[in-house]
A and B are shown apart, each in its own frame.
Chain A
Amino acid sequence: MTLNSHVPDGPLAEKWDKHRFGLKLVNPANKRKYEIIVVGTGLAGASAAASLAELGYSVKVFCIQDSPRRAHSIAAQGGINASKNYPNDGDSVYRLFYDTIKGGDYRAREANVYRLAQVSGQIIDQCVAQGVPFAREYSGHLANRSFGGAQVSRTFYARGQTGQQLLLGAYGALMRQVATGKVTLFPRSEMLELVVVNGQARGIVTRSLITGRIESHTAQAVVLATGGYGNVFYLSTNAKTCNVSASWRAHRKGAFFANPCFTQIHPTCIPVHGEYQSKLTLMSESLRNDGRVWVPSKADDTRSPESIPEGERDYFLERKYPSFGNLVPRDVASRNAKQVCDEGRGVGETKLAVYLDLRDAIQRIGRRTIEEKYGNLLQMYEKITGQDPYRVPMMIFPAVHYTMGGLWVDYNLMSNLPGLFVLGEANFSDHGANRLGASALMQGLADGYFILPYTIGGYLANASLPAVKVEQTEFKAAEKEAADRIQKLLAIRGKRTVDDIHRQLGLLMWDRCGMARSEKGLLHAKAKIPEIREDFWKNVTVTGTPGEFNQVLEHAGRLADFLEFAELLVEDALIRRESCGGHFREESQTPEGEALRDDDGFSHVAAWEFQGVGQAPVLHKEPLQFEYAKPSQRSYK
């Protein structure tokens, strides 16, 4: 099987226009006859579902939360990029495209990224029209800031709650369609299986998280917008219920999983403080605009930060990267924090933290301005740590935050399984090996508002889609598979909790497949994961019954999928013997310790085909061509 990305011919800037014109349209009067399933109600899912319903399609929307408004997009803090160039500082579609390709370390598809930059401005227009209260200047114009390694100010923001405000905008649009009857909403419903009929995605099997009832839903197309897999590391900035299950279930049914080893470690999170810890909290990297990152120059310096004189502080990012300073991209900032901690210069009780110091900014622009910019973030920091960040430098450490890998999709955002579309963080397409700050919100909304509504029409207008019924064998078999798995989990009655095993997996992944990866460490993880999986299926204890609200059962099902997925992540990391973006192989670095890419060997997308649990997956490569943004060694010096 060869992967066809379906990227249209022609000059980069004309591809999307040309492609849209080439897509066959669905007759407006016929749209209501098409049923589309959307799983997930984050930025990508909610925006897609609302836009599809506005066009006239009949949409069924599923989410595991009690309300679609609670999807994890809500937690995004910093902002959303768009190439509006309102500040007149040299931004353009081409520059946003170029920065994103370069930031992704030349492991993303040019055409997809260019299109993302093209529609970025429309997203801001749309959100403002919805009543999203973006930050404004006294003139009444929208405010912009520079963010996460960008040298232009292209980030729009709503205090430190940009994700929340954008999601509530999309949620409002979605609920408006619920009121019209075009969208049927199924909250607290979890997708357990994808149903494929004659090679096409034609429905899903779900479990009601309230009653435990398992049921099938048919459709002409299935859209997954189910987020990333960061919780395979157990501790991450993801919400507790974020999981890989919908993607993994689709993968088991034939959808290829692309670049799973591309995971992003965010440099500015609150450090781990105890073994009971259930998650890590992100401090928006917008703080790096004003905060200076440092550690003591000497190892094992136990003095309090205020008492360390200027000359004995190492502002290591400013020292090593004079032109970008504290604003280097996330992967670079994270690796450098790890490095100084490895040198014994980490701070705090665990020595696994570095300082992020607002002192100089407070002196320069005043406490009030800092409060206005970051008030709620700093308040959150104080609540969690019990320390006042206006007086004492904050302590931060990298944590798993975002996953660039995901289900493989073509230019239409359709997976290799016809009729299965994948949006947002759940797909692999736009961020390459490293995502730039404020680009996740952009991609989620681009996919949902402005790309899928066109491309899905092209599929529906062309495909032959005979009627399917929930009574037919494919659905019944998928229901049985889901119910059997639940019975099996409940029958084990072992001695370990789901959480305990999840922690064990997470720790292994963080140690061996986290910020720095080596062949030896990866081989260890590869051997260990099947053992943990076996232990899970022998020793886990799942309380309660299947036919009720049962959170332990939910978590067990998701962990079972993580335990299969983790092996693929490690395999992908093992095979990719180069460093790029968030994937740092110790064997592949420059003499200065920077990531060293191997374009001859690895300028491709690694798309994996499932062969069975414990069976070696089959690798398919989609070569990446760079006609416009010529690969160069990333340098932020």
Chain B
Amino acid sequence: MKAGMKFTLKVWRQKGSDAKGKLETYELRDISPDASFLEMLDVLNKQLILTGREPVAFDSDCREGICGTCCLVLNGQAHGPDEGTATCQLHMRRFKDGDTIHVEPWRAKAFPVVKDLVVDRSAFDRIIAAGGYVSVNTGSAPDANSILVPKQDSDLAMDAAACIGCGACVAACKNASAMLFVGAKVSQMALLPQGEPECSRRVLAMVQAMDKEGFGNCTNESECEAACPKEISVSNIARLNREFLRASLCAVEGKAGGEGA
């Protein structure tokens, strides 16, 4: 058995979306270095529950870095110190015995706090609803190999499609911009022939939805890429800008509300 570790946690506690929040301090000892960060929070919650206190609300589900549910800012970094790692895959061996760790929720106007460390990311769903798909009904697809896709395009599309929609890009950005999230989806579709026919309409609609939700603008700091657990590249933002410009200048059908006009 490896020796247990000690930690001081400063955890954001907030009763509800309208309540005022503050940092509470908790001491933890005997934490295994092999425990994940979320398992360490489980241990904290067990202590709180058994002493009649409210456990810390935090979101998680798959705990293997793919569902995008977990969303903690640790010592000011979205998903903590490891590159390409969601909070759930961060392990306590990454910290030093005796460390103080600040644990906070995503902070962005478009992601209001639900409770403690839990936020509402439905803004992302609304952006996707605006156009983050190919408009194909079930049953109307041609044979899968009838349209060939160059491997390099397909690979690039996959790089962009790896986004887990966690929102770390927004949390890491000083402007709370969602450009990396939107850029990833726009790129995936723009790179594939299947997504090409409606790419103008898509990019205009998604950008409009993004702005409506209250996300900020991109000022090329690349903090989003650094925080992204899937290491989505900022070149997707460049592609988003290019697609947006092209659609704004050239496209007729893509103008907002312009269908059939």
Contact = CB atoms under 8 A, between A and B. Distances in A.
Nearest to B86: A383
Given A67-B121, A125-B143, A380-B65, A47 B55 contact: no
Contact of B54 (A134, A168, A449, A543): A543
A70 B154 contact: no
Q: Which of B62, B129, B134 has the most CB of A within 10 A?
A: B62
Contacts of A450: 138-139
Given A67-B122, A276-B42, A548-B115, A173 B138 contact: yes
Contacts of A210: 114
Contacts, number: 220
A339 interface: no
A276 B137 contact: no
A129 B141 contact: yes
Contacts of B133: 130-131, 169, 172-173, 175-176
Given A67-B165, A161-B66, A176-B129, A187 B122 contact: yes
A72 interface: yes
Interface residues of B, number: 79
A544 B134 contact: no
Nearest to B58: A551
Nearest to B157: A133
Given A187-B122, A541-B49, A552-B49, A128 B34 contact: no
7 contacts: A129-B134, A129-B141, A131-B188, A179-B130, A273-B32, A386-B34, A552-B49
A128 B62 contact: no
B141 to A, nearest CB: 4
A142 interface: yes
Given A165-B161, A175-B128, A176-B129, A133 B154 contact: yes
Contact of A137 (B85, B118, B151): B151
Interface of A: 47, 50-51, 54, 65-70, 72, 74-75, 84, 86, 121-122, 124-142, 158-159, 161, 164-165, 168-169, 171-173, 175-176, 178-179, 185, 187, 210, 239-241, 273-274, 276-279, 281-282, 379-380, 383-384, 386, 449-450, 453, 495, 497, 499-500, 541, 543-544, 548-549, 551-552
A137 B150 CA distance: 8
A124 B142 CA distance: 10
B249 interface: no
B55 A551 contact: yes
Interface string B82-125: 10110001110100000000000000000000110010111011
B50 interface: yes
A380 B89 CA distance: 8
Contacts of A548: 16, 115
B183 interface: no
Contacts of A126: 136, 138-139, 141
Given A175-B132, A278-B38, A133 B188 contact: yes
Given A131-B192, A140-B151, A172 B62 contact: no
A209 to B, nearest CB: 9
B249 to A, nearest CB: 24
A324 to B, nearest CB: 28
Given A84-B144, A130-B133, A495-B50, A164 B66 contact: yes
Q: Is the interface of B mostly helix, strand, loop or mixed?
A: loop
B3 interface: no
Interface string B147-166: 11111001101100110110
Interface string B53-66: 11101011111111
B178 interface: no
Interface of B: 16, 32, 34-36, 38-40, 42-43, 46, 49-50, 52-55, 57, 59-69, 82, 84-85, 89-91, 93, 114-115, 118, 120-122, 124-125, 128-130, 132-145, 147-151, 154-155, 157-158, 161-162, 164-165, 188-189, 192, 194-195
A71 to B, nearest CB: 8
B37 to A, nearest CB: 11
B158 A138 contact: no
A449 B95 CA distance: 46
Contacts of A169: 133
Given A241-B61, A274-B34, A136 B136 contact: no
A178 B39 contact: no
B132 A172 contact: yes
A276 B39 contact: yes
A100 B34 CA distance: 39
A129 B66 contact: no
B67 A70 contact: yes
Contacts of B49: 497, 541, 543, 552
B129 A75 contact: no
B154 A134 contact: yes
Given A126-B139, A130-B194, A173-B133, 7 more contacts: A70-B68, A75-B67, A121-B144, A127-B144, A165-B158, A168-B161, A179-B130
A544 B65 CA distance: 29
Interface centre among B115, B120, B136 (most CB of A within 10 A): B136
Contact of B194 (A128, A240, A380, A383): A128
B54 to A, nearest CB: 6
In this complex, the member of B63, B138, B142 whose beta carbon has the largest number of chain A beta carbons within 10 angstroms is: B138
B161 A141 contact: no
